[in-house]
Amino acid sequence: MNLDKVISGFFIILAMTLNFGFFYGDLADIGLHDKYELFAAIVVNVIATILKLGDRTQMGSVLLATSLVAVIQLIAAASVWTIGINTVGIIDSGLSSIIVSLSGGALLANITSVFLYIGDTLKSRR
Amino acid sequence: MKNSSLWIILQRMRTPFLVIVITYTISILGMAIIPGIDNNGNTYHMSIFDAFYFITYTATTIGFGEIPYTFTYPQRMWVSFSIYFDVLGWFYSIGSLVALLQDKLFIQELAKNRFKRQINNLKEKYILVLGYNLITSEIIKKAIESGIRAVVIEKDQAKVHELMLENFTPQVPVLNADAYNPQALEMAGINSIYCKAVVSLFQDDALNLRIALTAKLLNPKVRLAVKATTQSDVENLQDFGVDIIENPFDIIASQTNKALNSHHLLRLERWIYGSIKLTDPFMKFPVGKYVMCGFGRMGEVIYKVLKENNLEVKCIEKDASKLKYLKEDEKNDVSYVESYDKKSLINVGVQDAKYIVIGTKNDTTNLSVALTAKKLNPNITTIVRENEMEDFSIFQTDKIDHILMPSRILIDKTINAIIRPSADLFVKNLDTLSDKDAQGIIKTLLEIDNEPILFELKVTKNESFELYKRIGKKLNVTLDLLRQSLKDKDHLNNVFIFMIYRKSGEIMLPSWDEKLHKDDVVLIGCDKNALEEIELMANNFNEFEFAFFGKEYSVLKNLFSKTQDNI
């Protein structure tokens, strides 16, 4: 067993599950989406990204790219939320759908990342 | 993925980044969860963005104060905790980054990248010089003078700094690496089309051999100038297909031989190498008794040459180890002495000798022996070896008649072979000429100018466009054209043709009605005016027209009666 693999695998999968947890629910109703869950998703995604830094292999580069996509989408969602609440004052159904769909995009990137990660692990014989 | 400095940063910064993210997350969460009280006394929770904002300016020690409302005591306790927590994390990360920037590996990586960029941007002909010292520095200077750039690989950091302080213009890119390292050679562009030659003149013959082998494996087409001081190494290098093999002692031997038998040839050879001017006094060794000091590699070759010419030679040598492997016939002439002092010089017969050759490795010894010999026998002619190259030579005295400088010979030979390969070939073929031919050539050259210019005209599309084009049109262009004055139809310029080099073989001293072919290289000696005119007519339509047909090209006349294509 490789501790490095456990840690990076843990964060990569946690990034996806948290992201899914936030995304799941009615698109237009922000009440069904928790802000702390979004925060956790962002933090875990950033950690997963850092763990993938500096890997010079082909697989490492693609993994890093997917993580960067996810982080950017999630931060965009959080920014929309912050700006919305401080300028409009309330998150209406329009804003809500923007936030949740942005996180949906991040979820796709995270799923890709997990698939690649599992594929890479299966391929390795050690 | 070639840029490894970026990857080094990323890999090393992993932990610091993680530390920042985790410390921030804990602090932000704490701030968002702990309840505060607003101005009206109501309980409120900081939004995540507010918490992030607060922690960001607190962790970086900027500290804007407590917003949006004054904090409660539980909040302040949490803030005190997180300040220590975050600031430590932040400083740790900055510290790691600064340490990384000073990291030797990282700096080397950056230097390598800069070197690679310089090589990529180098879109001119250049030579790759391995090892930086006085000899190669001289070669670099001469190459730059003739419009060829240089790139250096040097192992010693101190010498790299020396090169940088030299301030060559244009800049000489330098890589700090082992010269025999294939990666370093590749990085220095050994495969580049602009790389004209690789120069390897290390003291160590084995190293030169290794470099030659590596270089030929990497790029079989590259021209190599390699030094070798023993016969077996020379043969090895020939087997690899090295083009320019330089054995300074071989050159000294052949020059000594020429000085004895055919000093005009020697004069011509040294002029082509750029060692002397034609008007300089020339080296001519008369017949007589020779005394030699030092029987090392150089002493040995000179001894052999003198013996082959049936001259009386007596040698003395201080180093007993050099005398171990003497051949039978050498034992009579070579004797061991404790030091090169007055007594041993008298014993070996300086007083009735005509010549003394002093060739030890030590410059001070050489000089003092020369002075002693002159004192003992004022009529003796001294030939002295100078090893160190300095700006001011202690050998510039009238007590010394001829100086032999292996390093200078190496420089002249290398630079000649690289800048004018055809001139190098001409020198190689000099033996086919007689001394009388050489005397004639020198006389002609001196009639041209006191300091004639030696240059090669390449009949290629790039270098002499018009000439190349016209030869293709089946015009009968002969060498005679090259001496045609462009100012006066009936006047001839001062031009001398040494050689035509073409793939089928070279023609030494061709006659004026020799035909020019495409891709010929013509080695020409001429004055400044002729050089300009040759270059003009080789590249300019109208000038060629005048030189060849003796009249200007008429547009009107040709406009109507044009039958041949004009391209």
Q: Output the domain CATH number for residue B371.
A: 3.40.50.720
pLDDT at B2: 53
Instruction: Render B412-434 in DSSP notation, one character per residue.
Output: HHHHHHHH-HHHHHHHHGGGGS-
**Of residues A110 and B533, more confidently modeled:** A110
pLDDT at B392: 63
CB within 8 Å: B14 and A51: yes
pTM over 0.80: no
Would you state the structure tokens that stand for residue B475, as one six-digit string? 């015009």
The domain spanning residue B15 has which CATH number? 1.10.287
Closest alpha carbon within chain A to B9: A54
pLDDT at B496: 87
Determine contact, residues A90/A115, Cβ cutoff 8 Å: no
Residues B400, B533, single domain; the answer is no
Low pLDDT (below 50) residues in chain B = 1, 565-567
Residues B413, B460, single domain; the answer is no
ipTM above 0.90, yes or no: no
What is the distance in angstroms between the Cα of A52 and the nearest Cα belonging to chain B?
9
CB within 8 Å: B7 and A54: yes
Instruction: Calculate ∠ Cα B217-B218-B219, nearest 5°.
Output: 95
**B1 CB within 8 Å of a chain A CB:** yes
**B2 CB within 8 Å of a chain A CB:** no
**Of residues A102 and B205, more confidently modeled:** A102
Residues B84, B129, single domain; the answer is no
Residues B279, B382, single domain; the answer is yes
What is the distance in angstroms between the Cα of A84 and the nearest Cα belonging to chain B?
12
Q: Identify the domain containing residue A78 by its residue range.
A: 3-123
Q: Which amino acid appears at position B563 of this protein?
A: T
Name the interface residues of A facing B (CB cutoff 8 Å).
Answer: 35-36, 39, 43, 46-47, 50-51, 53-54, 56, 61, 78, 82, 85-86
**Spatial CA neighbour of B286 closest among B267, B312, B304, B265:** B312
Closest alpha carbon within chain A to B33: A36
Residues making up chain B, counted from first to last: 567
Q: Note whether residue B435 is domain-resident.
A: no
Residues B302, B407, single domain; the answer is yes
**B146 CB within 8 Å of a chain A CB:** no
Determine contact, residues B237/B213, Cβ cutoff 8 Å: no
Q: Note whether residue B427 is domain-resident.
A: no
CB within 8 Å: B48 and A39: yes
Per-residue pLDDT band at A18 (split at 50, 70, 90): very high
Q: Identify the domain containing residue B98 by its residue range.
A: 4-102
| Strands in B66-201 per DSSP E | 126-130, 149-154, 174-176, 195-200
Per-residue pLDDT band at A96 (split at 50, 70, 90): very high
Beta-carbon contacts of A85 under 8 Å, excluding residues fewer than 6 positions away, are A91, B47
Residues of A in contact with B10 (CB under 8 A): 53-54
B552-557's contacts with Cβ under 8 Å and 24+ in sequence apart are none
Cα B6 to Cα A112: distance, rounded to the nearest angstrom: 26
- Out of B14, B25, B32, name the one closest to residue A50 (CB): B14
B109 backbone dihedrals φ, ψ, rounded to 5°: -60, -40
- Out of A35, A51, A61, name the one closest to residue B48 (CB): A35
pLDDT at B1: 41
Helix (H) or strand (E) holding B250: helix B248-261
Residues B79, B181, single domain; the answer is no
CB within 8 Å: A54 and B11: yes
> What is the side-by-side order of every strand in the sheet holding B453-458?
B453-458, B521-526, B495-502, B505-508
Cα B64 to Cα B298: distance, rounded to the nearest angstrom: 81
Residues B140, B228, single domain; the answer is yes
Q: Is B115 exposed, middle or buried (0-12, 13-18, 19+ CB in 10 A)?
A: buried
Q: Which amino acid appears at position B293 of this protein?
A: C
Q: Note whether residue B107 is domain-resident.
A: no
Closest alpha carbon within chain B to A39: B48
Residues of A in contact with B29 (CB under 8 A): 36, 39
**B37 CB within 8 Å of a chain A CB:** no
Q: Last residue of a domain, which of B51, B69, B102?
A: B102
Cα A73 to Cα B428: distance, rounded to the nearest angstrom: 73
pLDDT at B560: 60
Strand partners, B492: B484
What is the distance in angstroms between the Cα of A68 and the nearest Cα belonging to chain B?
14
Residues B318, B461, single domain; the answer is no
Beta-carbon contacts of B96 under 8 Å, excluding residues fewer than 6 positions away, are B12, B13, B15, B16
Residues B301, B335, single domain; the answer is yes
Helix (H) or strand (E) holding B498: strand B495-502
Closest alpha carbon within chain B to A41: B25
CB within 8 Å: A61 and B1: yes
Determine contact, residues B191/B170, Cβ cutoff 8 Å: no
Q: Last residue of a domain, which of B41, B67, B102?
A: B102
Residues of A in contact with B11 (CB under 8 A): 53-54
Q: How many helices (H) and strands (E) does chain B have?
A: 23, 18
Q: Note whether residue B79 is domain-resident.
A: yes
How many domains is chain A built from?
1
- Out of A39, A54, A86, name the one closest to residue B10 (CB): A54
Residues B393, B542, single domain; the answer is no
- Out of B14, B18, B29, name the one closest to residue A54 (CB): B14
**B17 CB within 8 Å of a chain A CB:** yes
CA B327 to chain centre: 39
Upper half-sphere CA count for residue B193 (Cβ side, 13 Å): 1
**B10 CB within 8 Å of a chain A CB:** yes
Q: Is the N-terminal amide bond of B35 cis, ω within 30° of 0?
A: no
Interface test with A, best of B15, B27, B46, B49 (most A CBs within 10 A): B49
Closest alpha carbon within chain B to A51: B14
Cα B541 to Cα B404: distance, rounded to the nearest angstrom: 48
Cα A3 to Cα B151: distance, rounded to the nearest angstrom: 47
Q: Note whether residue B555 is domain-resident.
A: yes
Cα B388 to Cα B134: distance, rounded to the nearest angstrom: 9
Q: Note whether residue B429 is domain-resident.
A: no
Closest alpha carbon within chain B to A48: B18
Residues of B in contact with A35 (CB under 8 A): 48
pLDDT at B3: 61
**B402 CB within 8 Å of a chain A CB:** no
How many domains is chain B built from?
4
Q: Which amino acid appears at position B540 of this protein?
A: N
Instruction: Render B72-102 in DSSP notation, one character per residue.
Output: PHHHHHHHHHHHHHHHHHHHHHHHHHHHHHH
Residues B496, B363, single domain; the answer is no
pLDDT at B391: 60
- Out of A53, A85, A86, name the one closest to residue B14 (CB): A53
What is the distance in angstroms between the Cα of A45 and the nearest Cα belonging to chain B?
11
Determine contact, residues B438/B282, Cβ cutoff 8 Å: no
Please compute Rg for chain B using Cα positions: 36
Residues B142, B83, single domain; the answer is no
Beta-carbon contacts of A33 under 8 Å, excluding residues fewer than 6 positions away, are A22, A23, A25, A96, A99, A100, A103
